[in-house]
């Protein structure tokens, strides 16, 4: 019988697991366990050069020099980073705080000019 241990997980990881878990598993916990097992297998497989992946992610290595498995890992990391940045963007709030006018589309698709 498998034992379980409580642990803290970043909110965005938990929400992603909960969302995917609703489609694939009964809850977030099995989805997180699945991801952890995949990560463990990647790290111990010897087929994925984690050091080379880390170099690419820090800008010190070339994506084109990676093999297909390493490129897939890098693309997954990049997708998560981009998604996190997009979620933090709020141009309307930024422009308002700076006292700048801006335009945006309303729910009907009409252009609306916002003034501070």
How many separate domains does the chain show? 1
Specify the higher pLDDT residue, 112 or 83. Answer: 112
What would the two tokens of residue 3 be? Answer: 């034992």
| Domain-located, residue 60 | no
Residue 84 lies in a domain: no
State which residues form the domain around 31.
10-45
Q: Is 89 helix (H, G, I), strand (E, B) or coil?
A: coil
Q: Is residue 82 part of a domain?
A: no
Specify if 39 maps to a domain. Answer: yes
Q: What is the dihedral of CA 5, 7, 9, 13, to 10 degrees?
A: 0
Residue among 48, 44, 20 at smallest CA distance from 34: 20
The closest alpha carbon to 49, from 74, 17, 16, 19, belongs to 74
Query: What is the pLDDT at residue 110?
Result: 94
pLDDT digit string, tens, across residues 66-111: 988 889 888 988 888 888 788 778 888 889 889 999 999 999 999 9
Domain assignment present for 112: no
The predicted model scores a pTM of 0.50
Residue 26 maps to a domain? yes
């Amino acid at each position: 019988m498998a034992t379980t241990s409580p642990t803290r997980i970043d909110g965005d990881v938990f929400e992603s697991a909960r969302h995917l878990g609703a489609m694939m598993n009964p809850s977030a916990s099995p989805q997180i366990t699945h991801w952890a097992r995949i990560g463990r297998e990647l790290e111990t497989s010897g087929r994925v050069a984690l050091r080379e992946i880390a170099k690419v992610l820090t800008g010190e290595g070339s994506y084109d020099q990676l093999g297909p498995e390493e490129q897939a890992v890098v693309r997954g990391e990049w997708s998560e980073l981009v998604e996190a940045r997009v979620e933090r963007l709020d141009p309307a709030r930024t422009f308002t705080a700076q006292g700048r006018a801006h335009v945006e589309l309303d729910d009907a698709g009409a252009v609306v000019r916002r003034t501070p």
